[in-house]
C-alpha cells in the first residue's frame, strides 16, 4: 500500500504537445511542461517593464538554481555549481585546467568511452597536443556470445582495466547517449582516486531521470545540458566542479563572477578576486532573465517527481513491451546493464535504423536512430498508449 502511494502516475496532463503524438524521445529533447512554459512566459512579460530592476535581480535566480541542482545531485555545497551554456563549455573548463593538474606528465592518457558524444571528444584535441598526452578509447565489446559477459559488465571491466597510473583524465557518462549502457561510476571514481586521475562525468543523459550521488561517486567534474532529462530550456546547462578546480582558470573573465559584482555603483573599482567556489566558471551574462526562471521551475518539478520514481515509472511502462520487441528480433541490453529511461534496441540484421525511425514518425511515434539501433527514451508524460503505438508500428 505504501509503495503504491509513492509510485508516480502518468503526468501527461502537465504537458501540452498534441494528444495524438507518441513522443518517446526525451533523450533528444524534453517537451516543456506547463509550469516551465508559464515561468518563461511570465519572465518575458516581466521584461516588458524593467522598472524597479535591482542589481541583486541579476544574481538571485542563479542562486536558487544552484541550490536546487546541488540538492538533486547530493552536493552539500551549492557554491560548487556553475551555470554554463553547453556541454562543450563545461568540458572546456576541464581541458583548460588539466595542464595544472598535479603530477601531469607527457605520455599520460585521457580515457574515453567509444562512440561518445562529440562534445566529450573534441574537448581534448588541443590539450592533448600541448601537454603531449594520448587518447585511449575503450570501445563497446562485441556482440555477446554464449558464455560471455553482458555488454555492460564487460564494458565496465574494460574501462576499469584501462585506468592506470598512466591515466590523467577519465571522461565517462552515467549512461551511454546512444546505447543506454550503464557505467559503474562509483567503481570508476574509486579507481580514478587510486591512481590519481581526474574523473569528468557527462550527466546529460542521466541526471534528472536517474539518481546521482556526488558524495558517493566523488567525480572531479559533472556537466549537464538542461534540455533533456532536466526538462529545462535549450542553450543552458549546469556543472559541478570539485576541489581539483578550486582556484582554477575560467574560460572567460566575466565581470559578474567577481567579488562584490552586485554593487553596480562600484564596478569601475576593478576587483581581482572571484566569488567563492565554482562561481568563476559561470558563463558571462548568466542571469538568463528568461531561461533561469524556466530552469528553476524544471528543477523543482524534477525534485517533485524524484529520479528514483521516474526510473520505476519508465521500468513499469516498458515492462510488457520489451519481450514483444525481442520476439520481433530486436536486441535489448539486460536490465541490470542499463537505465530504464533510455533504451537502445538493436535492429534485426540488414534493417535500416533510420528507415525504421522515419516510418515510425509517419505513424506519429517519435524515437531516434543511433548507430545500428533505435533509441527509445520515455518519461513521465508517456502512457501505455504511447508504448502500444510503438510496438504496433514496429510489428
Tens of pLDDT, residues 169-202? 999 999 999 999 999 999 999 999 999 999 999 9
Report the pLDDT value the prediction gives residue 2, as an integer from 0 to 100. 40
Cα separation of 253 and 283, whole Å? 9
Report the pLDDT value the prediction gives residue 350, as an integer from 0 to 100. 87
pLDDT per residue over 117-168, tens digit each? Answer: 999 999 999 999 999 999 999 999 875 444 445 689 999 999 999 999 999 9
CA distances from 96 to 235, 250, 366 (A): 21, 8, 38
Name the more confident of 192 and 1. 192
Give which of 91, 105, 120, 126 is closest to 281, Cα–Cα: 91
Domain 2-24+307-394 classification at class level? alpha beta
Q: Do residues 376 and 389 make contact, with C-beta atoms less than 8 angstroms apart? A: no
User: What letter does residue 181 receive in the DSSP assignment?
Assistant: B
55-303 CATH choice from 3.30.930.10, 3.40.640.10, 3.40.50.960, 3.40.50.300: 3.40.640.10
pTM above 0.85, yes or no: yes
Q: List, by residue range, all CATH 3.40.640.10 domains of the chain.
A: 55-303
DSSP E strand boundaries for the chain? 22-23, 81-84, 109-113, 134-138, 167-173, 198-202, 221-225, 237-241, 331-332, 343-346, 365-366, 368-370, 373-376
Q: List, by residue range, all CATH 3.90.1150.10 domains of the chain.
A: 2-24+307-394
Report the pLDDT value the prediction gives residue 143, as an integer from 0 to 100. 53
Q: What are phi and psi of 33, to 5 degrees?
A: -75, 170
Grid coordinates representing 283?
A: 558563463
Please enumerate in sequence order all residues whose Cβ is within 8 A of that of 102, keeping only pairs 6 or more positions apart, or say none. 196
Q: Do residues 67 and 50 make contact, with C-beta atoms less than 8 angstroms apart? A: no
Report the pLDDT value the prediction gives residue 149, as an integer from 0 to 100. 58
Report the pLDDT value the prediction gives residue 4, as an integer from 0 to 100. 44
On the question of pLDDT at 42 being above 90, the answer is yes
pLDDT per residue over 216-245, tens digit each? Answer: 999 999 999 999 999 999 999 999 999 999
pLDDT per residue over 241-285, tens digit each? Answer: 999 999 999 999 999 999 999 999 999 999 999 999 999 999 999
Report the pLDDT value the prediction gives residue 348, as an integer from 0 to 100. 87
Strands 368-370, 373-376: pairing is antiparallel
- 3 state DSSP class of 87: helix
Amino acid at each position: 500500500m505504501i509503495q503504491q502511494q509513492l509510485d508516480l502516475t502518468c503526468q501527461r496532463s502537465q504537458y501540452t504537445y498534441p494528444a495524438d503524438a507518441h513522443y518517446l524521445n526525451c533523450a533528444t529533447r524534453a517537451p516543456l511542461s506547463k509550469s516551465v512554459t508559464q515561468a518563461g512566459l511570465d519572465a518575458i512579460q516581466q521584461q516588458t517593464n524593467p522598472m524597479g530592476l535591482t542589481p541583486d535581480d541579476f544574481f538571485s535566480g542563479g542562486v536558487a538554481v544552484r541550490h536546487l541542482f546541488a540538492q538533486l545531485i547530493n552536493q552539500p555545497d551549492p557554491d560548487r555549481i556553475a551555470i554554463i551554456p553547453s556541454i562543450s563549455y563545461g568540458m572546456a573548463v576541464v581541458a583548460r585546467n588539466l595542464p595544472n593538474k598535479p603530477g601531469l606528465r607527457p605520455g599520460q592518457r585521457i580515457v574515453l568511452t567509444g562512440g561518445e558524444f562529440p562534445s566529450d571528444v573534441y574537448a581534448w584535441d588541443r590539450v592533448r597536443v600541448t601537454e603531449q598526452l594520448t587518447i585511449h578509447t575503450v570501445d563497446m565489446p562485441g556482440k555477446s556470445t554464449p558464455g560471455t559477459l553482458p555488454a555492460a559488465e564487460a564494458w565496465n571491466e574494460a574501462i576499469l582495466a584501462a585506468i592506470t597510473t598512466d591515466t590523467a583524465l577519465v571522461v565517462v557518462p552515467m549512461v551511454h547517449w546512444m546505447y543506454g549502457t550503464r557505467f559503474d561510476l562509483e567503481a570508476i571514481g574509486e579507481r580514478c582516486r587510486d591512481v590519481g586521475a581526474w574523473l569528468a562525468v557527462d550527466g546529460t543523459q542521466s541526471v534528472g531521470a536517474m539518481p546521482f550521488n556526488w558524495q558517493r561517486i566523488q567525480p572531479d567534474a559533472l556537466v549537464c545540458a538542461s534540455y533533456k532529462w532536466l526538462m529545462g530550456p535549450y542553450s543552458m546547462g549546469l556543472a559541478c566542479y570539485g576541489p581539483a578546480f578550486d582556484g582554477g582558470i575560467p574560460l572567460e573573465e566575466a565581470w559578474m563572477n567577481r567579488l562584490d559584482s552586485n554593487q553596480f555603483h562600484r564596478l569601475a573599482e576593478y576587483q581581482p578576486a572571484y566569488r567563492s567556489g565554482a562561481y568563476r566558471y559561470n558563463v558571462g551574462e548568466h542571469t538568463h532573465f528568461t531561461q533561469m526562471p524556466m530552469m528553476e521551475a524544471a528543477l523543482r518539478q524534477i525534485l517533485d517527481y524524484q529520479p528514483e520514481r521516474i526510473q520505476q515509472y519508465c521500468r513499469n511502462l516498458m515492462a510488457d513491451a520489451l519481450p514483444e520487441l525481442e520476439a520481433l528480433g530486436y536486441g535489448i541490453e539486460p536490465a541490470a546493464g542499463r537505465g530504464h529511461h533510455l533504451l537502445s534496441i538493436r535492429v534485426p540484421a540488414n534493417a535500416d535504423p533510420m528507415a525504421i525511425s522515419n516510418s515510425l514518425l509517419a505513424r506519429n511515434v517519435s524515437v531516434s536512430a543511433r548507430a545500428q539501433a533505435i533509441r527509445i527514451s520515455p518519461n513521465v508524460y508517456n502512457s501505455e498508449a504511447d508504448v502500444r503505438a510503438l510496438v504496433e508500428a514496429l510489428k
